[in-house]
Structure 1
Amino acid sequence: MSKLRTILLLGALLGLSGCAKGFNRLPYDAWYLGLFAPNYMEVWIETADAVDVHDRVFRRAMSGVAAINTPKSLKPNSGGWPGYPGSGAGKHVRGADLPRLIYVRWQSLVEPQTYEAYIPIPEATRQAMVKGEKAYCSFDGKWITDYRYMLTVGLAPGGVTKTWIGGPCLPPVEVARVVGTVVKIGPYSGTSNGQHRPLSETSKAYIEKYGVPYGSW
């Protein structure tokens, strides 16, 4: 093997090694995708897929039950988004670089209706996700450098979605609002004869008493 070929081969191997060790180049192990629904507005997530900046698709990064608050003592005026949304129910999207797009298909059980939404994540949001900020953590009384690596999506009736980024000790920041579209073939990709998952008795009682507060999201 010639000296030139040896140098080129070593360079290629070093390049591959560098990609393997730091391909994503994030200041944390993984970012988090969480989902929630407004009070009593139950949803079932059929799939939440993520696409990172390298166009790698992470299918079913999250699915199933979204975080929700359904007090037994029915409270009126429960429409709108919370002032301080939490992280939501979800998972860390391991192996992914920063997100470029989030796709969610879900059943809005109070209507019932099935929606899908494509939520683009702009560059400014990605930059904010890797910007370290000094933050005071009240639960342990310490100052730390925190990151907004938690991406939280709220799912509301009418196909309305709202997205925030936040950190364990940093307040959430709203970054997107997208209104999804109805999935015409129905729930479960048309395999359930139009049958959605059942609504809980508590949410059903709330809807019967107060209705769905459309327009509050």
Structure 2
Amino acid sequence: MSTSSGCYWRIAELPYDSWRLGLFAPNYMEVWIETADAVDVRDRVFRRAMSGIAAINTPKDLKGDPRGWPERPGAGKGKQVLGADLPRLIYVRWQSLVEPQTYEAYIVIPEPTRQAMVKGEKTFCQADAKWIFGYRDVLTVGLAPGGIAKVWLMGACLAPIDVARVQGTVVKEGPDSGRSGGQYALPLDPASKAYIEKHGIPYGSW
């Protein structure tokens, strides 16, 4: 098996034990993740590497701004993908609770991203004023209304790298693959509901 560059990175060569998959949503744009699955370069599938509520801020004063993506996103809510080689594909199926609508997206991880994951860099951490040697070992996925999935490669004290922006598709069966009778996982937080009623959903900003 080979990638477009002619080789696969093997897990024995990884400079860390595991990489992390994290997910978040813009302010007030609440998301329930039905599943986030990872496929590594050896075509092994790690199902439900993450599920549940995505990381989000819902300021009660309604002054949070959900438009666009942050310049330096957080790591999101997630887990370490234990035992995986470098990622080839991320599959996410999620409920956009503010619409409401259910989407799925297939996110192909390009070879340059995998190469960046095993390239260590010396960087300065402002929080404790120390230099460290670190790796970008976190894939962060932002999920927005309209089925938008945006992906960054992150690492402690290292600048994030844009990986991909994917337009997901509507899951025709609805939430929980039709097993919930059209019922979404959670009711909206009162602050999210109030923000949507006042300002609407800023489609096109993501």
**TM-score of the superposition, structure 2-length normalised?**
0.92
Of 48, 67, 85, which aligns to 1:60?
48
8 A contact 2:58–2:64 mirrored in 1: no
Query: Against the structure 1 CA distance between its residues 142 and 76, is the aligned structure 2 distance closer, same or farther, given a 3 Å change threshold?
Result: closer
8 A contact 2:124–2:132 mirrored in 1: yes
Of 124, 127, 147, which aligns to 2:112?
124
* Bigger radius of gyration: 1
Counterpart position of 2:203: 214
CA deviation digits over 1:77-133, x for unaligned, max 9? Answer: 531111210100000001000000000000000000000000000100000111001
Counterpart position of 2:16: 28
8 A contact 2:27–2:65 mirrored in 1: no
Instruction: State the distance in 2 between where 1:108 and 1:98 align.
Output: 28
Cα RMSD (Å): 1.1
Of 116, 121, 137, which aligns to 1:149?
137
- Which amino acid in 2 is paired with 1:204? K
Counterpart position of 1:94: 82
Q: How do residues 190-209 of structure 1 correspond to structure 2 at under 5 angstroms? A: 190-197=178-185, 198-209=187-198
Instruction: State the distance in 1 between where 2:121 and 2:199 align.
Output: 42
CA deviation digits over 1:105-163, x for unaligned, max 9? Answer: 00000000000000000100000111001111222222111111010000000000100
Instruction: State the distance in 2 between where 1:89 and 1:39 align.
Output: 14
- Which amino acid in 1 is paired with 2:31? V
Cα deviation, residue 173, structure 1: 1.2
Instruction: Name the structure where helix makes up a greater proportion of residues.
Output: 1
**TM-score of the superposition, structure 1-length normalised?**
0.88
Q: Provide the aligned length of Structure 1 versus Structure 2.
A: 196
Cα deviation, residue 76, structure 1: 6.5
Report sequence identity in percent: 74
